Structure 1
């Protein structure tokens, strides 16, 4: 049977091809290996345990082996062997892997770009982006149209605890397009603009400027309304700008007052 592998080291070793190209590839490999050994840098294998643990974490985040294999451009069976061992060897797990494979797998993170489009994820980041746009003056009907939704579906989306990755990606794209724009310069009338802002204010929805793009998807993150939220001085700024104090500011003020009482006691 004729091999479909490209000519090179693998075809020389696995298929027995002895053409000039394959022979040259092997000679280069051996030369590089000898130089690395002399320098004390030869490391043909690394511990497989960190790779196995990372694969388990990715699976817990709904990033399966098939998708990881696509991202790192390897056969899924290679990852299955690392994770579960070889059936013919019972429960014995693979102890070592090639450094390049280990590095490639460890670089994979469960981001929106890597997760499968139908994977359900937390809706926290999606909700924050949509409510921030409303708080900035974008009417919900306008956003629903951009997302290809009906007004009812848009309202339902704001009430869900999970969304699929495809929806989260679409909302992120719309948010990235609109968050720096003035809605009135994009066809939104003055009255709808004001109604959207008032609606956002009544629900205490944080505007885009209060969110850090690096943490907006983190459930533990909080909007920085004042530039000093989470510090004792944050409540004073909240009062000045007419926005109710956020929980981190209230907690910081309580701690500051408790510390002041302790020092005067």
Structure 2
């Protein structure tokens, strides 16, 4: 599925002929004509930022073929930008078309773009698993949902890295289960209580403490009270009978 926004790049690279893309093309042509007349037309940009971005993507585990596919450009064309064409005795290009640069720079090393066997930080995977356990999902249920042995599931959560395929599977499991009641899907009352107690003893944040846009952020903290990071949040922790989180302690100290 093409996710490139409608505009000039989509007109040129994807052949879209909708009104938005057609208008963007006409505006491009008009501005190009004006710039040529004024002597300021510069259709090319420096290639080094593109090469730097490609190397950054490669360091994250993305191959050149994958990068080219995500940017919807020819792999050999991208190869010429990055490494040149040794068979022709030419080095890397010094300049590239603006539209090519924009397409490559728009590619990000998201989980969906990385190879399944790429090793990444376990933070998001660990937080999602902890959150589900905190609301009552026994770990062996989560392991079964992921097609893993319970022992392997526990080991995965303790490792310094996880495979992208495991992170994606945990993300899907979290999306499937976070709104569901464990009891309605086979978990016993005793198992739910044990899961919640186990998580509470380890201060694992529950589902409600995370937003989708922060759960993978290393700098983010769970919002236990709905007011964390404020002095009101600190008082809410006290009412709940648990220790205050770091943002609430910081807010109290500042106050």
Shift, 1:144, TM fit = 0.7
Corresponding residue number in structure 2 for 1:263 = none
Q: Distance in 1 between matches of 2:129 and 2:232?
A: 29
Which has the higher mean CA deviation after the structures are superposed, 51-60 or 175-184?
A: 51-60
TM-aligned CA distance change 1:253 to 1:34, over 3 Å: closer
Shift of residue 40 of structure 1?
Answer: 3.1
> When the two structures are aligned, how many residues end up with a matched partner?
224
Q: Secondary structure at the match of 1:233?
A: helix
Structure 2 counterpart of 1:220:
219
Q: 2 CA distance for matches of 1:192 and 1:32?
A: 63
Structure 2 runs not aligned, ≥5 long: 1-25
Q: Does 1:152 align with 2:151?
A: yes
Q: Which residue of 2 is the match for residue 107 of structure 1?
A: 106
Distance 1:40 1:147, change over 3 A: same
> Which has the larger displacement, 80-89 or 46-55?
80-89
The secondary structure found in structure 1 opposite 2:120 is: strand
Write the distance in 1 (CA, Å) between the matches of 2:218 and 2:244: 19
**Equivalent in the alignment of 2:115:** 116
After TM superposition, give the deviation of residue 43 of structure 1 in Å: 5.3
Cα distance in 2 for residues equivalent to 1:80 and 1:51? 11
Q: Does 1:139 align with 2:134?
A: no
The aligned residue for residue 98 of structure 1 is 97
- CA shift, 1:202, in A, is 0.7
Residue in 2 that maps onto 1:170: 169
Q: Deviations over 1:22-58 (max 9, x none)?
A: xxxxxxxxx9997654343865433323222221221
Counterpart in 1 of 2:33? 38
Work out whether residues 71 and 106 of structure 2, in 8 Å CA contact, stay in contact via their aligned partners in 1.
no
Residue equivalent to 1:78 = 77
2:201 corresponds to 1:180: no
Distance in 2 between the 1:56 and 1:253 partners?
Answer: 44
Change in 2 beyond 3 A, CA 1:35/1:249: closer
Q: Distance in 2 between matches of 1:223 and 1:33?
A: 46
- The answer for the alignment partner of 2:235 in structure 1 is 236
Alpha-carbon distance between aligned partners in 2 of 1:207 and 1:89, rounded to the nearest angstrom: 57
2:225–2:233 CA contact under 8 A, matched in 1: yes
Q: Look up the SS of the partner of 1:40 in the other structure.
A: helix
TM-score (structure 1 length as normaliser): 0.77
The residue aligned with 1:195 is 194
2: CA distance between counterparts of 1:111 and 1:118?
14
Q: CA RMSD in A?
A: 2.3
Report the counterpart of residue 127 of structure 1 in structure 2. Answer: 126
Provide Cα deviations, 1:182-241, integer angstroms capped at 9, x if missing partner. Answer: 111222221111111111111100001101111211111110111221223322111112
Change (3 A) 1:150 1:33: closer
Q: Deviations over 1:101-157 (max 9, x none)?
A: 212111111111111111110000000000100001001111111111111111101
Deviation of 1:68 after TM superposition, in Å, equals: 0.5
SS class of match (1:46)? strand
